[in-house]
Amino acid sequence: MPIINLSELRAALSPGQRLIGLDPGKKTVGVALSDVLLMLASPYRGLARAKLAANAAEIAAIATREGAAGLVVGLPLGLDGSFGPAAQAAKDWAIALSAATGLPAALWDERLSSAAVNRMLIEEADLTRAKRAKAVDAAAAAYMLQAALDASAGAASLPR
């Protein structure tokens, strides 16, 4: 399946369907879930990064269980907005994951999402480094998905 833009992804959803936000890291894939109104993103869990087939099966099971019909995958652009090797790897993974799950996918800029979440967990939640490590992946996915939902909210008010 090709990558589509977020407005097209939202427009393709039926009422009540959710989006899954994914923050693919080297060791863990952070997973977040939108609400059915596509207004609020929440951390869901972290998945151990494994072979594509295994991660696709887990993500497809989450989609089925939670009523999700699309993926928003974090795109790690450079700080200057450049599209480097990490962004290409994330795009390739998103295309392969979309094909393996049968779910349409959109990419969303996730620059500094992990840094922002870590800073918040230190300042607001006062979590230790060990506790932050367990929470940061899913929280970063939720941070990225929330930004995508907020930015595309206007498209949601258009007639379907």
Q: CATH number for the domain including 33?
A: 3.30.420.140
pLDDT value, residue 135: 67
The pTM of this model reads 0.84
* 9-23, 120-134, 138-152: which is most confident: 9-23
pLDDT tens-digit map of 27-41: 889 999 999 999 999
Q: Please choose, from the candidates 63, 53, 76, the residue with its C-alpha nearest in 3D space to the C-alpha of residue 18.
A: 63
* pLDDT (average), residues 1-14: 90
Q: What is the mean pLDDT of the chain?
A: 85
Helix, strand or coil for residue 95?
Answer: helix
Q: Is the pLDDT higher at 86 or at 113?
A: 86
pLDDT value, residue 120: 62
Question: What are the φ and ψ backbone dihedral angles of 73, each rounded to 5 degrees?
Answer: -105, 130
Residue 127 pLDDT > 90, yes or no? no
Residue position matching structure tokens 């999402």: 113
Domain membership of residue 18 as a residue range: 6-154
Q: Is the pLDDT higher at 123 or at 84?
A: 84
Number of structural domains in the chain: 1
Residue 160: inside a domain: no
pLDDT value, residue 107: 95
With contact defined as beta carbons under 8 Å apart, do 97 and 59 qualify?
yes
Residue 82: inside a domain: yes
